Chain A
Amino acid sequence: MISAKTFIISVVGMLVTVTIVALFAIRPKPVVVRTNLEYLPKEISGYAAMDDTFPESVYRELNADEHVYRHYRSGDGSQLDLYVGYYGTAKGGRTGHNPYACLPGAGWAIVDSGKVRIRQPSQSSDVEVNYVQARRDGVNTVMVHWYQTAGTTVMSTGIQQNIERFWGRLLHNRNDGAFVQVSTRVSDDQVANAGTKVRNFAGLVLQLLPEYWPVEK
């Protein structure tokens, strides 16, 4: 026979659980009221931007609240590409896609990857981001990418981002985030120089992003 004690403990445990969950459930879910990222400056340190778009199927797959996809060109003709995909709290604050999977899928071979530290020009501390060099048909893609949440928190791994998202939602009922990527395409002899350019530009983007971070209410 199921003992009364076992039965009561189970009932009380589940009733307490359902009550706490109900209290969390009635919290209003924040919605993105201002995306802001589209106002990121189109002129950054001598680079002038041109907006670009992806095919509709790519937008459907990425399913972000806001995309910024730009080509920044400098006077010497070099080009840096910026992509920011922002996901509000309602969309869970993150994308499932990452360059380590998507680059090989598009035929690029990753030839070098790791972590690099980037200093934001106006800040004393630096942050860790991911560096990737991929090669296809004699062309190299050199990129840095990272995850950003709460406007200012920069993370290099999805696990770090998940932990941040968890605490953000638990404590502040908000876990919006963005995937940010700065990249360029160069020939073999320009890879080292491109890496420096990409890192420097990423530092400027890191400095600007908090100011243009979307607003959720």
Chain B
Amino acid sequence: MSKSDKIKISMLLLLWVAVFSPIYPELVRDWLSHSDNSHAFIVPFIVLFFVWQKKGELQSTPIDSSAWGGAILAASLIVYVASYAGGTAFPARIAMVSSLFGLIWFCLGSGSIRILAFPIGFLLFMVPVPYSLMSLVSMPLQLMATRISANLIGYCSIPVYREGNMLNFVQTKLEVAEACSGIRSITALTMLALLFCYLSEDGWWRKVLLVGAAIPIALVANIVRVTGTGILAHFYGDRVARGFLHEFSGLVIFALGFALLFAVFSITSRKKTDDIR
């Protein structure tokens, strides 16, 4: 990549950032206002790291132009304008990512987009899923977590009566709120699993296994948290489900989920080493 190419691509990227600037304030507000989206803050930095890692490869990749990239760029910009004018945030945010994909493909060609497809795709983790879509998944998960936790608490000989997402104990009651659906852990662990996949040189089936494992791990970790909170609430009251203790238990359980995911990653990688031997 020549110096003039670097200047051109820098200018185009700056312009791309400026084009989507009207949607940033609301996007950042969504990240700040809903804890399900808080992981989004680190996504751009992870992506920059990925790109920096690939800079040598990008330098030596011949520059080409792709009409397909141009078509994606044009379609994304049209969707963005329509979405912005129509007051619908989600398509505009998706268009932000897809337009970058189109721009790189159009200007740098197929070789470069092959290298950058994953980092650019990873930017989708910045896009908050609309509440109406999220609730389709989170509500059943919330109910499932409450139901299984109620059974587990019952097996511990603790009297508990479940009513929807409410766990009623003898002296207190707990609401398994939407934030306890496990969707946040699923998103965060899926993101981590994809990171592991990208950084490892394992085969496809191991990568699929790892990403697939992130969901049950997140669900199990969440059920452990709800059950544990319920048992503690029976003995110590509902203060265990509020404030520092609740936040701390969330971190502990996330660490457990991360450890389990790392264990799967290590086992599948070791299996690969054994296979080679």
A residues whose Cβ falls under 8 Å from a Cβ of B: 1-3, 6-7, 9-11, 13-15, 17-18, 20-22, 24-25, 89, 92, 96-98, 101, 104-108, 136, 158, 162, 165-167, 169-170, 175
Select which of B18, B87, B107, B139 is within 8 A of A105 by beta carbon. B139
Q: Is the CB of A101 within 8 A of B139?
A: yes
Q: Which residues of A contact B127 (CB under 8 A)?
A: none
Q: Which of B63, B86, B130, B142 has the most CB of A within 10 A?
A: B86
User: Is B77 on the interface with A (CB-CB < 8 A)?
Assistant: yes
CB distance from B162 to the nearest CB of A (A): 8
Q: Which residues of A contact B103 (CB under 8 A)?
A: 10
Q: Is the CB of A21 within 8 A of B8?
A: no
Select which of B18, B87, B108, B132 is within 8 A of A158 by beta carbon. B132
Q: Which residues of B contact A165 (CB under 8 A)?
A: 86-88
Q: Is the CB of A105 within 8 A of B81?
A: no
* 9 new A-B contacts at CB < 8 Å, known A21-B19, A106-B163, A107-B164: A2-B5, A2-B8, A7-B12, A14-B15, A25-B22, A101-B139, A104-B139, A104-B143, A170-B86
Assess A17 versus B80: contact at CB under 8 Å? Given A11-B15, A167-B86. Answer: yes
User: Is B98 on the interface with A (CB-CB < 8 A)?
Assistant: no
The 3 closest A-B pairs by CB, nearest first: A107-B164, A96-B131, A107-B163
Q: Is the CB of B166 within 8 A of A107?
A: yes
B residues whose Cβ falls under 8 Å from a Cβ of A: 2, 4-5, 8-9, 11-12, 15-16, 18-19, 22, 63, 65, 70, 73-74, 77, 80-82, 84-88, 103, 106-108, 130-132, 135-136, 139, 142-143, 162-166
Q: Is the CB of B65 within 8 A of A92?
A: no
Q: Which residues of B contact A89 (CB under 8 A)?
A: 87
Q: Is the CB of A175 within 8 A of B8?
A: no
Residue of A nearest to B81 (CB): A20
Assess A162 versus B9: contact at CB under 8 Å? Given A10-B106, A104-B139. Answer: no
Docked CA distance A2–B4 (Å): 9
Secondary structure of the B side of the interface? helix
Docked CA distance A167–B143 (Å): 36
Docked CA distance A74–B260 (Å): 60
Q: Which residues of A contact B142 (CB under 8 A)?
A: 105
Select which of A7, A13, A106 is within 8 A of B8 by beta carbon. A7
Q: Which residues of A contact B87 (CB under 8 A)?
A: 89, 92, 165-166, 169-170, 175
Residue of A nearest to B76 (CB): A17
Docked CA distance A25–B92 (Å): 14
Docked CA distance A81–B151 (Å): 35
Residue of A nearest to B103 (CB): A10
Docked CA distance A105–B179 (Å): 13
Docked CA distance A126–B16 (Å): 48
Select which of B63, B70, B166 is within 8 A of A2 by beta carbon. B63
Q: Is the CB of A3 within 8 A of B65?
A: yes
CB distance from A162 to the nearest CB of B (A): 7
Q: Which residues of B contact A25 (CB under 8 A)?
A: 22, 84
Q: Is the CB of B135 within 8 A of A101?
A: yes
Docked CA distance A98–B130 (Å): 14
Docked CA distance A106–B175 (Å): 10
Docked CA distance A175–B84 (Å): 13
Q: Is the CB of A1 within 8 A of B77?
A: no
Q: Which residues of A contact B136 (CB under 8 A)?
A: 101
Q: Is the CB of B88 within 8 A of A166?
A: yes
Q: Is the CB of B164 within 8 A of A96?
A: no
Residue of B nearest to A161 (CB): B132
Q: Which residues of A contact B77 (CB under 8 A)?
A: 13-14, 17
Select which of B2, B106, B135 is within 8 A of A1 by beta carbon. B2
